[in-house]
Structure 1
Amino acid sequence: MQAVINFIVSIVSTPAILVGLIACLGLALQKKPGTKIMEGTVKTFVGFLVLTGGAGILSNSLAPFASMFKFALHVQGVVPSNEAVVAIALQQYGTTTALIMFVGMIVNVLLARFTKFKYIFLTGQAMLYVSCLTAVILISTGMKAGATTILLGGLFEGTLLTVTPALCQPFMRKITGGDAVAMGHTGNIGYATAGLMGKWFGNSKKSTEDINVPKGLSFLRDSTVSITLVMAIVYLVLALVSGPHFVETKLSSGTNYLIYALTQAGTFAAGFYVVLAGVRMILGEIVPAFQGIATKLVPNAKPALDVPIIFPYAPNALLIGFFVSFIVGTLSMFGMIAMGSTVIIPGVVGHFFCGGAAGIYGNATGGRRGAIIGSAVNSLLISWLPLLILPVLGGLKMAASTFADTDYLVPGILLGNLGHYGEAAVIAGIIGFTVVVIIWSFFLKSNKKAKTEAEG
């Protein structure tokens, strides 16, 4: 039984395999020739490996950034990192997490089939992490690791992963210029908030991507060049502040600290370039393949894909969002030190992926001002909300890491605090959440039908 569970978890938590199988199913439902099915499946599989490989290069190149930052400021505290906290939690909650994820996937497909929210969540590691968070909180409220916890946890996760892409879709249409893909990440609540901030306080006529570059500096229009130069400045400053002794003994294995900084900046740009190649492969294969699923299983379904899928649409907004988010996170850290509370150290990877994406969402609705305001507000959420989730994580609250993204933090805090009122309150809260989402969907359907009839 355990081997079967591990096999299923390995499939659904590996995005390349999961999305490759989805593409295979979609092409088969369209009755494509065997050669076309094989071609589409392999290209989708490889495309996701390229995408995740590029994201891995980005993350790895940011690790020295984080080390130099902590050393330069001499700070210690809790670092929000989904990967780290889940690795700790799975040792105790592994089986429950796996079964919650399985039930959650079924709930997601059913809700996509029978409600207006036609989003199939395909980011495997995010599903695993949400399942883990749900298991930790439910068991920490006093529920036993049995069938009730698994079914309730799956219902909660499946509903959450269906509705959060819906929150982001109006902004995704502006970002991508279409309606073919959705956002399948665990920062969706923050991204939608950033989009609203841009809409309310920004100016969409002045996009980050329209920044005027003098003719003599036209080479900066190439994203690879501009990203390399910007990150080189940042890395060199950090290396100089940290000093050659720390960099060369702790990070670079003896390589000159300035050369090491330049190499990491170039590696970061290379990771971004790889991500772009992966995005092109995926969009070229998964969207046509998904038409089969949309036609046969879930009419009008859209694949909800991982956050790097939007990076090519606004690379300037991505960098602006990252830097603004990290600066706000750093200022928040100093605020916590002054208050004498637990200190949340800004996680560089989290601020890059979530802060950068928030910048893209803010730019889509509010231009440059929207990118700055949107990423700043998102940063405040991911900087301060970890303080509120720590008390509801049971034995994990003393860990050196915690959950980082808004879609863990906001639902986790709400669900965990419901636990203070007993198991009945948790059950009622989860069922109520699903019912509200279903009613909301049908209310939107009714509004659309009424509007169509009125126009007719």
Structure 2
Amino acid sequence: MVVLEWIINNILTQAAIIIALIACLGLALQKKPINEVFAGTMKTMFGFMILSAGSSVLQGSLKYFGGVFNAAFNLGSSGGAVVASIEGINGQAMTDLGLGSEIAITLAGIFIVNILIARFTKFKYIFLTGQALLWESTLAVVFSYFLGLTGLPLILLASLVGGAFATFMPAIAQPVMRKITDSDDIALGHFCTIGYMVTAGVAKLVGNPEDSAEDIKMPESLDFLNDTYLAVFTVMLPFYIVAAIIAGPDKCAAIVNELGLSSSINFIVMAFIQCCTFVIGLYILMMGVRQLLDNIVPAFQGISMKLVPGAKPALDCPVLFPYAPNSVIFGFIFTTIGSIIGMLITPFTGYLVIPGVMSNFFAGGTAGIFANAMGGKRGVIIGCIVHGIFIMIIPALLTPMLAQIGFLNLTCTDVDTVFTGFLLYGLKLLTGLFM
């Protein structure tokens, strides 16, 4: 048991190592020379770590922007305000409820169930986003615990539910993924899939996929915007600067101190630097995506041929960003608009849910790609506004359920994990009716 816990805590919670080991297995099953196995394994790991480093830089900049944005518009000042933070739920579950071991073992259980379902059914998807699996494990364990389960029964139920979500969510998204990538080589491993499919459905109803957001042409004077990173900078800079101006120097200084940044820099200059940091993070992330895909897809052929014939790797949402960079930015903008509208609606549920800037960027950007594939520019605009509202209302509905377990002023961000909570809470209600 001690050895198993060491493996779970040190190996199975490290997404880069998991993906590297899977690449190694895939190459070994193809009987590649040892030098190719070593090179492919390490390049896959490096690619994922570069992607993660870029994501960390992005998140650091977005924490600054989120704090300034909330301060500028006095969000979160209400006593009934709820923060959408699965990280906070994970921390409280492991400390206050003592569910750390159950969460870690369930993470391994979800991966095993995922492989078994993929091996013996037509749903050939292997979920490789380790961090997302950790959040799914957290919610599955928390709500299984709420059912009154402990020990092995809790782990088994949480693993079955989490493994099912890890298999079927990529399957649900795959028809749209084929349109986006023009191939069937990879799947989406991100637990915001229900939101993406709602967005895609709305976009299909209102838009025209032939009128793509990626075809937008800039005038010659704005030709520099054809560079993805300059375009991102140009779009994001007003958000940073305007939010800083409205918040004012005192509130900005407080946020800078809280984040451990240099407090001697002028608050407008700091906003400019943080916007540049955002773009640099995106650049690093894209480099990692390219290296990861260049190595994981060939390596995964070994898994497909030997262990799970026809399997597809389900990867994190940034792997889609290079396919439709314009749609990522538009998706973020219009999801943010929708989330502000949704925030104004959430008090009717009894709680004010604060928009998450990082969720708006990653999930909103991916929703933009889905919307553009199904409905072009018009689909992105309307679909992503609906997406923003959806990802505010759904977590708000979960909030009172979490409050019953002891998670006050917290809710989830990824809507698939929210539906995991709904499913297990519904099971709690059913068992109450028949017992």
Determine the structure 2 residue equivalent to 1:114: 120
Contact 1:71 1:242 in 2 (8 A): yes
Cα distance in 1 for partners of 2:389, 2:202 equals 13
1:285 to 283, 295, 298: 295
2:178 to 158, 173, 176: 173
1:392 to 395, 401, 405: 401
Change over 3 Å in CA distance of 1:409–1:348 after alignment to 2: same
Cα distance in 1 for partners of 2:189, 2:277 equals 26
Matched, 1:25 2:25: yes
Cα distance in 2 for partners of 1:198, 1:10 equals 42
2:316 to 306, 313, 321: 306
Cα distance, 1:280 vs. partner?
0.7
Task: Give the letter aligned to residue 321 of structure 1.
Answer: G
Determine the structure 1 residue equivalent to 2:422: 413
Aligned with 1:393: secondary structure?
A: helix
Cα distance in 2 for partners of 1:355, 1:41 equals 31
1:296 to 283, 301, 306: 306
Which sits farther off after the overlay, 386-395 or 77-86? 386-395
Change over 3 Å in CA distance of 1:242–1:380 after alignment to 2: same
Aligned with 2:314: secondary structure?
A: strand
Task: Give the letter aligned to residue 184 of structure 1.
Answer: G
Cα distance in 2 for partners of 1:212, 1:189 equals 32
- Which string of whole-angstrom CA distances, capped at 9 and with x for unpartnered residues, describes residues 113-159 of structure 1? 1111110001111111111101110111222x122221121111111
Change over 3 Å in CA distance of 1:340–1:182 after alignment to 2: closer
Cα distance in 1 for partners of 2:430, 2:399 equals 18
Determine the structure 2 residue equivalent to 1:128: 134
- Which string of whole-angstrom CA distances, capped at 9 and with x for unpartnered residues, describes residues 284-315 of structure 1? 10000000110011011110001111111111
Cα distance in 1 for partners of 2:434, 2:416 equals 21
Cα distance in 2 for partners of 1:124, 1:218 equals 39
Contact 1:310 1:357 in 2 (8 A): yes
Aligned with 2:126: secondary structure?
A: strand
1:90 to 68, 78, 94: 94
Cα distance in 2 for partners of 1:366, 1:425 equals 46
What does 1:346-357 correspond to in 2, within 5 Å? Answer: 346-357=355-366
- The normalised TM-score by structure 2 is 0.93
Aligned with 1:243: secondary structure?
A: helix
Cα distance in 2 for partners of 1:197, 1:397 equals 36
Determine the structure 2 residue equivalent to 1:434: none
- Which string of whole-angstrom CA distances, capped at 9 and with x for unpartnered residues, describes residues 41-65 of structure 1? 0000000000111111111111111
Cα distance in 2 for partners of 1:329, 1:375 equals 9
Contact 1:361 1:374 in 2 (8 A): no
Which sits farther off after the overlay, 124-133 or 187-196? 187-196
Determine the structure 2 residue equivalent to 1:183: 188
Change over 3 Å in CA distance of 1:340–1:296 after alignment to 2: closer
Cα distance in 1 for partners of 2:311, 2:4 equals 29
Determine the structure 2 residue equivalent to 1:149: 154
Contact 1:137 1:392 in 2 (8 A): no
Determine the structure 2 residue equivalent to 1:454: none
Cα distance in 1 for partners of 2:73, 2:346 equals 14
Cα distance in 1 for partners of 2:360, 2:13 equals 23
Cα distance, 1:15 vs. partner?
1.4
Aligned with 1:120: secondary structure?
A: strand
Contact 1:81 1:350 in 2 (8 A): no
Cα distance in 2 for partners of 1:352, 1:342 equals 23
Matched, 1:327 2:337: yes
Change over 3 Å in CA distance of 1:425–1:208 after alignment to 2: farther
Contact 1:198 1:366 in 2 (8 A): yes
Change over 3 Å in CA distance of 1:383–1:289 after alignment to 2: same
Which sits farther off after the overlay, 74-83 or 34-43? 74-83
Cα distance in 1 for partners of 2:169, 2:434 equals 23
What does 1:4-43 correspond to in 2, within 5 Å? Answer: 4-43=4-43
Task: Give the letter aligned to residue 404 of structure 1.
Answer: T
Cα distance, 1:200 vs. partner?
2.2
Cα distance, 1:68 vs. partner?
1.1
Determine the structure 2 residue equivalent to 1:445: none
Identify unmatched segments of 5+ residues in structure 1.
427-456
Which sits farther off after the overlay, 1-10 or 171-180? 1-10
Identify unmatched segments of 5+ residues in structure 2.
257-261
Determine the structure 2 residue equivalent to 1:449: none
Cα distance in 2 for partners of 1:375, 1:29 equals 42
Cα distance in 2 for partners of 1:198, 1:335 equals 22
> Percent identical across equivalent pairs?
42
Tell me the C-alpha RMSD between the 2 structures. Answer: 1.8
Cα distance in 2 for partners of 1:425, 1:385 equals 27
- The normalised TM-score by structure 1 is 0.89
Give the length in aligned residue pairs: 424
Determine the structure 1 residue equivalent to 2:259: none
Cα distance in 2 for partners of 1:2, 1:78 equals 38
Contact 1:392 1:417 in 2 (8 A): no
Contact 1:122 1:303 in 2 (8 A): yes
Contact 1:236 1:258 in 2 (8 A): yes
Contact 1:205 1:367 in 2 (8 A): yes
Cα distance in 2 for partners of 1:348, 1:2 equals 39
Task: Give the letter aligned to residue 153 of structure 1.
Answer: A
Contact 2:349 2:397 in 1 (8 A): no
Which sits farther off after the overlay, 19-28 or 190-199? 190-199
Change over 3 Å in CA distance of 1:100–1:73 after alignment to 2: same
Matched, 1:273 2:306: no
Determine the structure 2 residue equivalent to 1:227: 232
Determine the structure 1 residue equivalent to 2:146: 140
Aligned with 2:99: secondary structure?
A: helix
Cα distance in 2 for partners of 1:2, 1:40 equals 31
Cα distance in 1 for partners of 2:38, 2:254 equals 49
Contact 1:248 1:255 in 2 (8 A): no
